[in-house]
Structure 1
Amino acid sequence: MPKVLGTVPEAVTDPILIEIFGLNQHFLRAVQAAGSDGEVTTLTGVPAAKGVARGIARVLSNADELHRVQPGEVLVCESTSPNWTPAFAKIAACVCGGGTLSHAAIVGREYGVPTVTAVGLATVAISDGDEIEVDGTNGTVTVFRKADAQAKPAEVGS
């Protein structure tokens, strides 16, 4: 299901939509960039758990797929809930939607796993198997695809 329907608004002011669902200015800019047919290689979200990690992205749509996550990989998902918690013991980093009060943000801080939240387009812009770098201190996610490893990443949402 899409996060928004219709015209992308200029701003979101509802604190629930911002803090829990991560629908902030970064998200709105990323939606606009994705609609322009430009390939997104740098995503900006909300820094949720400090640190930097690089690894292979494992894009999951639900907890039933958690068995696919290998040690050292980066979990990319829409959101997490308590049944996702054991994965934080083996992942290198986490990228997801949601805000600073989301489950992933809290567990990322508890486990010391670099986490960036409010990256609402993460599961669209990042492919399963891409190598990505997660900067949980600054809230950025950089995608290094094999085909464009030499290309300079384009900035989105800065």
Structure 2
Amino acid sequence: LRAVALAIGEVMVNRKLFKQTTDVFFLTWEETESLLAGQTMMPHVLSETAELRRTEWEACHSLSPPGLIQLPEGHYWSDSPAPLPVEPATDSLIGTGVSGGTITGRAVVLSDPDQMKEVAENDILVTQQTDPGWGPILFLVKGLVMERGGMLSHGAILAREYGIPTVVAIPEVTRKLTTGMQIRVDGDRGVVEILEE
């Protein structure tokens, strides 16, 4: 795909529309298509747009992002509109919601996927972290809670694929919850509530 884009950029340089072949990467596909088809009333405007976007990209590219962006306590980053704030109950565990939805059910605390026989259909899996070996178990459960992980962790990605409400990054959750507890997992707010012990 990159080779095709660069070939298009070369055509634009030959037509004197671009200064460099890589300018093609700073236009949208629709803008590039209209330039190629000769449908742009003022092609020099798109050429200037590409140059402007390149300048902005170079300015941003030279910045060094911080290693950590820390939000005030109790605030969590989300790319979706924030839900109405709800004070978590005292028997709630706060983490990071990585797959939306709310589900209530029996917690089953596992440390190894070989313990799969302990999982009943519709349980909520509580574990430290997951890897590909946990895949078959995630087909059975209706919720997931993990001590570690983030938006791009293995469990979070599979949970979103399977539509399983999931909360991660709750320190020592495998010690705080025990198999058989009734819990509610709120993947939108990043909260796990203990309903019955």
Normalised TM-score (structure 1): 0.66
Please tell me the root mean square deviation across aligned C-alpha atoms, in Å: 1.9
Report which structure shows greater RCO (CA 8 Å, sep ≥6): 1
Q: Which structure has the larger Rg over C-alpha atoms?
A: 2
The Cα of 1:14 is off from its aligned counterpart by 5.4
The Cα of 1:108 is off from its aligned counterpart by 0.4
Are 1:69 and 2:119 an aligned pair? Answer: yes
State the aligned residue count. 113
Paired letter, 1:119: I
> Which has the larger share of helix?
2
Indicate the SS of the match to 1:142: strand
Q: Which ranges in structure 2 are unaligned for 5 or more consecutive residues?
A: 1-65, 75-89
Are 1:123 and 2:174 an aligned pair? Answer: yes
The Cα of 1:41 is off from its aligned counterpart by 2.2
Paired letter, 2:120: Q
Normalised TM-score (structure 2): 0.53
After superposing on structure 2, the runs of 4+ consecutive aligned residues of structure 1 that deviate more than 2 Å are none
1: CA distance, partners of 2:67 / 2:129: 19
> Which has the larger share of strand?
1
The Cα of 1:68 is off from its aligned counterpart by 1.1
1: CA distance, partners of 2:116 / 2:170: 20
2: CA distance, partners of 1:123 / 1:41: 15
- Residue 41 of structure 1 is matched in structure 2 by 91
8 Å CA contact 1:43–1:140 kept in 2: the answer is: yes
The Cα of 1:100 is off from its aligned counterpart by 1.7
Q: Which ranges in structure 1 are unaligned for 5 or more consecutive residues?
A: 1-12, 19-24, 27-39, 147-158
Query: 1:36-115 to 2 correspondence within 5 Å?
Result: 41-97=91-147, 98-115=149-166
What are the superposed Cα offsets for residues 7-30 of structure 1, whole Å, 9 maximum, x if unpaired? xxxxxx955xx9xxxxxx67xxxx
